Amino acid sequence: MKRFLTALMAASAIFALNSCTEDTPVEDGPSIEWKSNSDFSTVDITETMDVNLTIKAPAGIKSFTVDVKSDALEQVLGAISSNGSTLDLINDTKLIEGLKTMASMEGYEGLADLPTGDAILNQTSIDFNISSLVPLILLLTQNETEESLHEFTINVTDNNAKTATETCTFRRVASDTPSYAAPTMTWEGNESFDVEEIEEGMIVKFTINVPAGIESLVVDINSSALNPIGISSLDFVNVENNNDMLAGVVTGILGDQDITTATILTLDLSTLMPMLLKLPTLTPDSDHVFTVKLTDKAGQDLEQACTFHYTGETTPTLSVDESSVDLWANTVKLNVSGEVTSVAYREKDTETWIEVKADDNGEYIVAPVWNEGKNDAGLTVYTPETGTGIFAGKTYEFQLNGETVADAELTTDSGDVIPNGDMSQWSTTDDVEPLPYPNAEGDTFWTSGNNGATPELCVNDNGAAKLSSIQDFVIIMDVFAAGNLYTGTFNYTLPAEASFGQTYDWSARPKALKVKYKANIGVIDFVSSTLPEDSGVVKGETIDKARIFAVVTDWNAMHMVKSGWGEPSGMWDPEDANKLEEGAILGYASQYITESTTGESFVELVIPFNWYDTAAKPTEGNYSIVISCAASSLGDYLTGCSTNKLWVDDFEWVY
């Protein structure tokens, strides 16, 4: 019985053990794989290498160290590791911080790719890539000629206390002559070797790294200040090749540095460069180039130019950038240099100088000053301040620091011409009954309301346009028609269609419209039922005003006005609106004529422009000009004085 119980207990224990084994499978231990070198054979060190190790630990990594056996790396690792050449990449905080610091240094950037700390701890798989680290051995052994071996032993322990170890061996191949890095040069505070201004207190310090040692070092000097006094070259190795003065300069720059053994050399010119400011040979706006020419003991060359500039007190200058003249914006750019206290301009032979201030970009732009106001309709309008801006057909002179600059005058182009503005060209229409037409044969700029029923609304009177308002019996009733002349087209239908606007190539913004006129003005004697009730017109009392206006538009089509029969439509007034359905009204010049002129002489009238928009320019190809003259300003409503007459001639722009 006792034997039976013992056997039964043994069987139970075996069963329990087997059950445990089946529920908790045993995990594999850690492994280290070098895919490009699976047998971990010795590899020669080259500039480019594939040393990417894959570490796997299904149970998670608990410990990760690298034992480094390398004379070249011993000093470096000893400075950053708590354990000398044994690198604990999980727990050694000093090592981890040291690697981060080294990774920021030139030549050691590859250290930034090494995993450390939590990037390793408890990980089941990591890449340990030292492809950019191993070639650093070449840099650290560049002065050696003998072959050397460098070992990295990877030790991994997982959370089940299982371990893996592999050694990566690298050979630094022997060479007949040591390999030295090429010499380099830095300029403190000026890494890109930009041109620096010569000034008191400046710091000029160069550091030259020459691992192979210095064979020769000469600084060639190209300087309009130093060359005339015999300073064109400094020899730092063969000091005796310099004259006594230059030998002293070289000795002062070198200080206690031994150039025959130095691999790092500092050239401090902080005292020398400001001395140029005391030389009478130093001229304003001059460059001074110091070219460092070095050959190391391995036969490698370095050449670096260092340029210094002296601005000095240059004579201030002003010139006109004529290519920037904009006669629509009324601006021009001035090129100004040197010390500036004031810049001003004026139209020649006028009294007032207009000051020009530098803008936010330091540029001097002549531009008009716009005065803001309200017209009778309450719309905001702008007019240029007298004397400001650059306009067509003018000559301008300029001052710099209170003195007129003789060679900086600007004469602008003459501006734009109004076609047949002198009313000298007339032809006839092609209607059934030829009618007077205020254009040269083939031109269509001007038109009028002349038609078979009222053929004398606009006629040629000794080279001027004579506009006559009339009252006449047409078909079945008395009608009134205003004498008129305008830019556009006319279609004699019922109702009549007057289309306003012409295309015009604007090159210059006008200040005003100038025209010569004479007029007979009377009292309104005909009032049509189409006249608005609120017009305030009283037949037999209200003066019938004539009107002349010019408008700069930006329309995509002509604007049509219909009147004569039925309700009129399309009536418009540039003083009451800054846009119509066809587009914007940019500006206008308008004048009512309320009394007759005396005698037969013409009166010159200058009508100033008011601008709704001081920036926009009419779009090329759009309808951009309207000039309208009416002997009776209410003619669209068939209302006026039947004896009113208006003569107009010599239209031109004022700038």
Q: 609-647 pLDDT, tens per residue?
A: 999 999 999 999 999 999 999 999 999 999 999 999 999
User: What integer is the mean pLDDT of 335-347?
Assistant: 95
Q: Note the pLDDT of residue 11.
A: 38
**Whole-number Å distance between alpha carbons of 638 and 544:** 12
DSSP-derived secondary structure for 140-167: HTTT--S-EEEEEEEEEEETTS-EEEEE
pLDDT at residue 23 above 70? Answer: no
Q: Report the chain's mean pLDDT, rounded to a whole number.
A: 91
**Which residue, among 275, 271, 339, has the nearest Cα to 311 in the 3D structure?**
339
Query: In this prediction, what percent of the chain has a pLDDT beyond 70?
Result: 94
Q: At what angle do helices 93-103 and 71-80 cross, to 10 degrees?
A: 110
Query: In this prediction, what percent of the chain has a pLDDT beyond 90?
Result: 78
According to DSSP, the residues that pair with 553 across neighbouring strands are 585
**Which residue, among 353, 369, 313, 358, has the nearest Cα to 335 in the 3D structure?**
358
pLDDT at residue 68 above 80? Answer: yes
Residue 566: pLDDT band (50, 70, 90) is confident
Place of tokens 């300003």: 633
Q: Note the pLDDT of residue 187.
A: 97
Q: Residue 474's CB: how many other CB atoms inside 10 A?
A: 14
pLDDT at residue 1 above 60? Answer: no
Q: Which of 23-32, 429-438, 536-545 has the lowest mean pLDDT?
A: 23-32
Residue 469: pLDDT band (50, 70, 90) is very high
pLDDT at residue 300 above 60? Answer: yes
Tokens of 342: 């004031």
Q: Note the pLDDT of residue 16.
A: 38
Tokens of 380: 């905001």
Q: Are strands 301-310 and 196-197 parallel, antiparallel or unpaired?
A: parallel
For the stretch 550-575, what's the b/e string if a residue is b when 16 or more beta carbons lie within 10 angstroms of its beta carbon? bbbbbbeebbbbbbbeeebebebebb
User: What integer is the mean pLDDT of 532-561?
Assistant: 96
Q: Note the pLDDT of residue 477.
A: 60
Helices (H) and strands (E) in the chain, counts: 6, 45
- Residues 272 and 201 sit within 8 Å (Cβ to Cβ): no
Q: Note the pLDDT of residue 50.
A: 93
| Residue 543: DSSP 8-state | B
Q: Note the pLDDT of residue 234.
A: 95
CATH hierarchy code of domain 184-310: 2.60.40
Residue 17: pLDDT band (50, 70, 90) is very low
Peptide bond into 274 cis (omega under 30): no
Residue 13: pLDDT band (50, 70, 90) is very low
- Residue 222 or residue 133, greater confidence: 222
Q: Note the pLDDT of residue 25.
A: 58
**Which residue, among 614, 307, 649, has the nearest Cα to 458 in the 3D structure?**
649
Task: Tell me the per-residue pLDDT of 103-155, one tens digit each, with 9 for 90 and over.
Answer: 887 777 878 889 999 999 999 999 999 988 888 888 788 777 788 999 999 99
Task: Tell me the per-residue pLDDT of 190-218, one tens digit each, with 9 for 90 and over.
Answer: 999 999 999 999 999 999 999 999 999 99
Q: Note the pLDDT of residue 335.
A: 97
| Residue 105: DSSP 8-state | S
According to DSSP, the residues that pair with 490 across neighbouring strands are 498
pLDDT at residue 10 above 50? Answer: no
pLDDT at residue 541 above 80? Answer: yes
Displacement of CA 312 from its chain's centroid (Å): 30
User: What integer is the mean pLDDT of 381-404?
Assistant: 97
Question: Domain spans of the chain?
Answer: 31-172, 184-310, 317-411, 427-654
**Which residue, among 400, 409, 402, 405, has the nearest Cα to 347 in the 3D structure?**
409
Contacts made by residues 466-469, CB under 8 angstroms, sequence distance 24+: 466/645, 466/646, 466/647, 467/546, 467/629, 467/630, 467/631, 467/645, 467/646, 467/647, 467/648, 468/631, 468/644, 468/645, 469/544, 469/631, 469/632, 469/635, 469/640, 469/641, 469/642, 469/643, 469/644, 469/645
pLDDT at residue 592 above 50? Answer: yes
Residue 18: pLDDT band (50, 70, 90) is very low
Q: Note the pLDDT of residue 146.
A: 85
- Residues 545 and 594 sit within 8 Å (Cβ to Cβ): yes
pLDDT at residue 44 above 60? Answer: yes
Q: Which CATH class is domain 427-654?
A: mainly beta
Q: Note the pLDDT of residue 563.
A: 86
Contacts of 620 (CB under 8 A, 6+ apart): 505
Q: Residue 494's CB: how many other CB atoms inside 10 A?
A: 10
Angle CA 78–79–84, to nearest 5:
25
Contacts of 382 (CB under 8 A, 6+ apart): 370, 371, 372, 373, 610, 611, 612, 614
